[in-house]
Chain A
Amino acid sequence: MAKRLFLEEEHKKLNPRFIEFSGWIMPLEYKGIIIEHLHVRQKAGIFDISHMGRIRIRGKNSSIFLQKLTSNDIQKLYKGKAQYSLILSPQGTILDDVILYMIDENDFLLVVNAGNREKILSWLHINLINNVEIEDQTESTVLIALQGPISESILNSIVKDNLSSLKYYHFLETEIFKEKVYISRTGYTGEDGFEIFISNKKAIELWNYLINKQDIIPCGLGARDTLRLEMGYPLYGNELDENTTPWEANLSWVVKLDKSSDFIGRNALIELKEKKKKYLIAFETLEGIPRKDFKIFHNNEEIGWVTSGTFSPSLKKGIGLCYLIKKDLDNLELEIRGKRVKIKVTDLPFIKNTSLRKGGK
């Protein structure tokens, strides 16, 4: 049975459209995807992303354990630092893309995709070593993302510590409404913003405070998807899956082959480095809107498929990501309902000059 958000009753008061996503009943849109999307780019929006899996990993061998289970280098983490990373199969393909937070030397929080939570929990248990404890904290806390250029000034009025010195991909333990929270400067929109881990007890108060703030609107999964796609951020199940290597997904920057110890998938990745079976490419359309699984042609030969596609609310045209089995980037065509239209290969991100980059934090 589908899981329910702790804040579902609060969402219902706002009358959103709901969809089922990765086994959760989630708000898709409140006032409309375009309004919500543009509001995040211009001001700020809040998202209930409590469906994301949150797994606490503690114990004196936890960093040895995580160094073996993830592709990025744990030694680059320090207290208060977050790290984007991958959990790989022994074959070097992607089991999940994750964010790892170092709370203390022997205390980590792993945020995994909702649809992979059970799979990753059992993978962690299969590979478990002594003196490591794993606790699934997903349903005892709420995770709220506040995203957009004015996020910092809004949060500063209710957070005990000042957030202006908190850098990108860093987090701190502080208080909101006298409740302990973790706030990280991370997000999935390309804008400056924060993700707030708060107890269920105080989550309703925080949610209602934020939605009643002028210049903030609640946003659903629809806008979350268009915002991430405008930045070219991959989504598990679309660009990433168990048939895809980090090399193919352009994620070599989170694979540290030379780190202090071996990790699951490393040997396979060394072997596969020069053997890409597909190339991840970004494109825009001149007419029509690309959708997942639409086919890509080059001189009438089918050479690829769309992994994510949408109408870009910022650019007002179709944008997408696709895998191509050959790196032929000229004269590509997309098949939309039997009709071929030209596409133009572009660089990522689709949207430049967002508040995230301007801030340089």
Chain B
Amino acid sequence: MYPTDRRYSKDHEWAKMENKNAIIGITYYAQKELGDIVYIDLPQIGKEVKKGEVIAVVESVKSASDIYSPLSGKIIKINEVLKEKPELLNEDPYNNGWIAILEVLNPDEYNELLSSDEYRSLIGES
């Protein structure tokens, strides 16, 4: 449920490094807590975000929830497929349900994120 090839934030997002960029998404736990996701507000390409700032808003039938960026950087790509298929966030949160790619500003921030084991212990699944 929590792959070891990436790191996790306390707000239930993940980041996976690819060269100097990071792919960002939400965790299995997050999508389960949110319920059926039916809509996503994606960020603009080129937008600069700080760690902990709102990067996207996902909506379930019942409510809207903010998704926070686990890292600081510039958004260079967004997953346009989610506009038509927001359910990918539930069905495949680690692959096809990725949200955005960031050009990472400060690589140290990545190391400060939680490992898979630490994250599992945070959500009580260790």
Contact = CB atoms under 8 A, between A and B. Distances in A.
A17 B41 CA distance: 25
A311 B61 contact: yes
A80 interface: no
Given A311-B59, A337-B41, A337-B57, A34 B64 contact: no
Interface string B42-68: 000000000000000101111110000
Contacts of A33: 35-36, 60-62
A222 B61 contact: yes
B67 to A, nearest CB: 13
A291 B64 contact: yes
B57 A34 contact: no
B38 interface: yes
A226 B59 CA distance: 14
Interface string A292-332: 00000000000000000011010000100000000000000
Given A28-B62, A33-B62, A17 B35 contact: yes
B59 A289 contact: yes
Contacts of A34: 36, 38, 61
Contacts of B39: 288-289, 311, 318
A317 to B, nearest CB: 9
Nearest to B87: A34
B62 A222 contact: yes
Interface string A33-55: 11001000000000000000000
Nearest to B66: A337
A32 B36 contact: yes
List 7 tightest A-B contacts by C-beta distance, closest first.
A33-B61, A311-B38, A34-B36, A311-B61, A289-B59, A32-B36, A289-B39
Given A28-B62, A33-B60, 18 more contacts: A17-B35, A32-B35, A33-B35, A33-B36, A33-B61, A34-B61, A37-B61, A222-B62, A226-B61, A288-B41, A289-B38, A289-B39, A291-B64, A311-B39, A311-B60, A313-B61, A318-B39, A337-B41
18 contacts: A29-B35, A32-B35, A32-B36, A33-B35, A33-B36, A33-B62, A34-B38, A222-B62, A288-B39, A289-B38, A289-B39, A291-B63, A310-B62, A311-B38, A311-B59, A311-B60, A318-B39, A337-B57
